[in-house]
Amino acid sequence: MDLREPSAQQSRAIVAQLKRSQIFKDYEQAFRETTGLPINLRPIEAFDLPFRGDPKENLFCALMGNSNQSCAACLQLQKKVEEEAKMEAKTLKCFAGFCDSSVPVRVGENLIAFLQTGQIMLHEPSREQFDRTTRQLLKWGAEVDVKRLEEVYFQSRVITKKQYASILRLLTIFAQHLSTLSNELMVKEAAAESPPVAKARQFITDHQAEELSLAQVAQSVNMSAFYFCKMFKRATGMTFTDYLARVRVEKVKNLLLNPHKRVSEAAYEAGFQSLSQFNRVFRRIAGESPSTYRDRLHGPGKG
């Protein structure tokens, strides 16, 4: 699976795997219980309402989803917020005054999915705004129970901008964890391949700390370098060079769990031949510098 340029189908496959992970299930539950807000991990180019059926779905938004016209407006907002959230968290407001937010989950330079929350107001709901909303709905010809709509509208969750900024910060931190997990899945995805590929991967794992060439790996599975290169890319979705880089980056991350391990030591132990090459590759794959990653693990000033 080539995650460097993920398609919508590949994104859906990654999201499905992430949602089955224990870390996502634990965070999802804790987020809902702590904030009282809905949460969803959404693949790229998804065309559905992200919080439909969520136990914390806003009741007003749930009613809106029952009308084709208002549902279409919500879907358009989701598309717009995702288009603007490809690099960083983005919040947009719908016609009824509710805010939805998307936080990108990226592996290096590549967008994998979105973490989403919202359906809240950043100010107290007003009669004037509700009247504008109902006029818009009537203009669309939407069939809604106005009395019930008014009831749930004025019961909607209101959060201060500062509180909401903190909630989005939590999502951003979690998105970084999911980014790491996505990269691990990328490496593991290549595992369920043909025996020659499995043998090549094992050879790469055993010799990753050495100056490893494509020709050496090809020879280990009795293939020409040309044929092995094509076969490996077709089976894993990655070039040999990219796969080796990802394996080494994962090795570095594991080594850096030790608070006494220096970044430079971890880089050389994992098989990188120069620090400039290591820094460039780590940033491309992990989406941040190795020192930033280490500081997040142990705090700054740890070597």
> In the chain, what is the greatest distance between 2 CA atoms, to the nearest angstrom?
75
Write the DSSP symbol of residue 298. H
Q: How many CA atoms lie within 13 A of 190 on its CB side?
A: 30
One-letter-per-residue 3-state SS of 1-20: CCCCCCCHHHHHHHHHHHHH
pLDDT of residue 73: 80
Domains 8-184 and 190-298 share a fold: no
Per-residue burial over 36-56, b = 16 or more CB atoms within 10 Å of its CB, e = otherwise: ebbbbbbbbebeebbbeebeb
Length of the chain: 303
Yes or no: domain 8-184 corresponds to CATH 3.30.450: yes
Per the structure block, which two tokens stand in for 231?
A: 């076969």
Sign of dihedral through CA atoms 111, 116, 121, 123? negative
Element of type H or E holding 125: none
Q: In 3-state terms, the chain is what percent helix, strand and coil (to 5)?
A: 60, 10, 30
Q: Regarding the domain delimited by 190-298, which CATH topology (the fold level of the hierarchy) does it fall under?
A: Arc Repressor Mutant, subunit A (1.10.10)
User: Can you tell me the distance from the alpha carbon of 201 to that of 251, in angstroms, rounded to the nearest whole number?
Assistant: 14
pLDDT of residue 150: 94
Q: How many CA atoms lie within 13 A of 206 on its CB side?
A: 9
Assess contact for 76 and 87: CB atoms under 8 A: no
User: Can you tell me the distance from the alpha carbon of 237 to that of 243, in angstroms, rounded to the nearest whole number?
Assistant: 9
User: Can you tell me the distance from the alpha carbon of 245 to that of 277, in angstroms, rounded to the nearest whole number?
Assistant: 10
Domain boundaries, the chain: 8-184, 190-298
pLDDT of residue 3: 41
pLDDT of residue 187: 65
**Measured distance between the N- and C-terminal CA atoms of the chain, rounded to whole angstroms:** 36
Residue-wise pLDDT tens digits, 123-175? 999 999 999 999 988 888 877 788 999 999 999 999 999 999 999 999 999 99
pLDDT of residue 203: 93
Assess contact for 96 and 137: CB atoms under 8 A: no
The pTM of this model reads 0.63
User: Can you tell me the distance from the alpha carbon of 126 to that of 154, in angstroms, rounded to the nearest whole number?
Assistant: 8
**What is the residue-level pLDDT of the chain in tens, covering all 303 positions?**
444 456 677 788 888 889 988 889 999 999 999 999 999 999 988 777 889 889 999 999 988 877 766 777 888 888 888 888 888 999 999 999 999 999 999 887 788 899 999 999 999 999 999 999 999 888 888 777 889 999 999 999 999 999 999 999 999 999 988 988 887 776 666 555 578 888 898 899 899 999 999 999 999 999 999 989 988 888 777 899 999 999 999 899 888 888 888 999 999 999 999 999 999 999 988 888 898 888 877 766 544
pLDDT of residue 214: 93
pLDDT of residue 124: 95
The total of other beta-carbon atoms located within 10 Å of residue 29's CB is 11
CA 227 to chain centre: 34
